[in-house]
Structure formats: C-alpha cells, structure tokens
Amino acid sequence: MQHQLTDIGERMIVALDFSTLDEVKKCIEPLQGHIRYVKVGMELAYAEGPAIVSFLKEKGLKVFLDLKVHDIPNTAKGAMKSLARLGADMVNVHAAGGVAMMAAAREGLEQGTAAGAARPLLIGVTMLTSTGMQTMNQELAIPGAVEDVVVHYALMTKQAGLDGVVASPLEVPMIKKAAGDAFVTVTPGIRPLGADQGDQTRITTPEQAFRLGSDYLVIGRAITGAKDPVGVWQSIVAAVEKDRS
Ligand SMILES: O=c1ccn([C@@H]2O[C@H](COP(=O)(O)O)[C@@H](O)[C@H]2O)c(=O)[nH]1
C-alpha cells in the first residue's frame, strides 16, 4: 500500500489511553480538524464501554478498537461477532493465538458485520513493541531474532485470512517482502525526536516509520501527554512532509 502525502492524517492513529470520557473530550477537542483516526484500548473500553466507539464515530473520527482478543477459537469467534456490531473501523487479535483462532475470529467478524456494512479491518498483533530480544528469548522462551518471529507471525496471520499486522516499523520492510505490499502494517512504538521512550523498545520516529513503509502509525503519549498536543501533531506532520519532499 503506497501512502500519499495527503493521507498522512488518516494514517496516524492517536491512541486515547485514558480512563474517562471527560479526559477523552479534553484531549480531542483541540485536535478536532487535525486528527482523523483514534485508537481505543483496553483502559478506555473497559471504563466507558461500547458507547465510546459511537461517541468517537459521531465526532467524525475513524476508530481502531485495540482489544487484542486472545482465546480459544470458539471464544475468539464469539468476541469478534459481538465487536463487529460496535462500528469500529479496525479490530485485532493476538497472532500468538494461532492460525485456527485467527481464522475463527475472522469468521465471527464476518458473521457479525451487518449486511451492506463494511467489515472492519482485522489485524494480528505480532510481538508487542515493548518486547525486546532478551525478553522474548529468555522470559517468553522464544528463540531467534525478533524480526524473524514477527515475520513468522505475519505469515500465520496472512494464512488465517486477516488483513495485516501490528508490529514495529523496524520490521515493516521484512513483513512487506514476505507477505506482500497490500498486507497492512499498523505500527506503534513511534517516538518523535527527543520524546521519552517510556516502556517501548522497538521504536522509530514518525518520518522513519513512513520511510520504512508503515501503512498506519499509532502515536499515543507523545501527543496526548504533551502540553501542546496540536503543536506536536503539527510538528510531526511537518517533519514527515519535509522528509518526503
Ligand atoms: O505492540 C504493540 C501493540 C499495541 N500498542 C499500543 O499502542 C499505543 C502506543 O502508545 P505510546 O504512548 O505511543 O507508546 C498504546 O496504546 C499501546 O497499547 C503498542 O504500543 N505496541
């Protein structure tokens, strides 16, 4: 998927990691007119329930509902059938649940999507961007290089009929080479120059992420935790445009 400069706004997903609707309103109000796509994670979804998706959709925003379903195939299928009714544009599962689980999730999503409505994109999470090689090798007991495991998970995800994966931008070139350019890559672990790395391990700047071929960037605290979120948003867009010119 070749991104156009005009698409930058729709390709940068702002992670709304808050626990109340008031915090969400306070965050998005000044960003309205700039941002086009937001992410609702577990913190917000568990606190505010499904109504948060319709609230954001009514504001004209696209919604990635990041609940990372990971269970036995039958349960994952049922979860996706229910999630399909909420109106999100993108949902996800953990690829570590395996091909059968991911295929069942896709079936559930298709069954739950209303006739005539677009099915949300279904994305598999590969290795969390907070996980480094040492953690993966020693704690998770998965040998090898992170990139190789991510590509393996991406191929499993493709085999199950999903639309793409969550990974670090660092792995995008290898994923695209193995799974094809149309296979969607959604990449957290984004840190503008000088931003605090926090708990993320496999990071790049927004410019690097686009240069590496990421289709969607997920950016949370660098924007939502800033004193001037609109200023940070505008400086990211400017840096990406400069890098592409
Ligand atoms: O591998 C993953 C999967 C999901 N995330 C989510 O993305 C955002 C990143 O937020 P930052 O504040 O920009 O670090 C967050 O909601 C995570 O749950 C991820 O980081 N890595």
The CATH number for 71's domain is 3.20.20.70
Question: Closest Cα to atom 21, ligand 1: which residue?
Answer: 129
pLDDT for 245 equals 86
| Structural domain count of the chain | 1
The pLDDT value recorded for residue 149 is 98
Q: Pick the catalytic residue from 57, 59, 71, 81.
A: 71
Averaged pLDDT score across all residues of the chain: 97
- The reply to whether 20 sits in an annotated binding site is no
Ligand 1 atom at minimal distance to the Cα of residue 128: 1
Question: For residue range 184-195, what is the model confidence (pLDDT) as tens digits?
Answer: 999 999 999 999
The model's confidence at residue 3, banded by pLDDT at 50, 70 and 90, is low
Angle 45-229-186 from CA coordinates, rounded to 5° = 55
Q: Which atom of ligand 1 is nearest to the CA of 200?
A: 14
d(CA 242, CA 207): 9
Mean pLDDT of 137-158: 98
Does residue 2 form part of some domain? no
Which tokens is 27 given? 């965050």
Q: Is this complex scored with an ipTM above 0.95?
A: yes
Question: Helix or strand or coil: residue 49?
Answer: coil
Confidence of residue 87 (pLDDT cuts 50, 70, 90): very high
pLDDT for 45-57, tens place per residue?
Answer: 999 999 999 999 9
**pLDDT of 173 higher than 60:** yes
Asked, for residue 92, whether it belongs to a domain, the answer is yes
Residue 7: pLDDT band with limits 50, 70, 90? confident
164-166 and 121-125: which strand pairing? parallel
Q: Is 65 in the pocket of ligand 1 (CB under 6 A)?
A: no
Region 204-225: mean pLDDT is 98
- The answer to whether 34 is annotated as binding is no
> What is the residue range of 162's domain?
8-244
In a domain, 3, yes or no: no
1 domain-assigned: no
- Partners of 204 in the beta sheet? 190
Helix (H, G, I), strand (E, B) or coil at 39: strand
In this structure, is residue 150 part of a structural domain?
Answer: yes
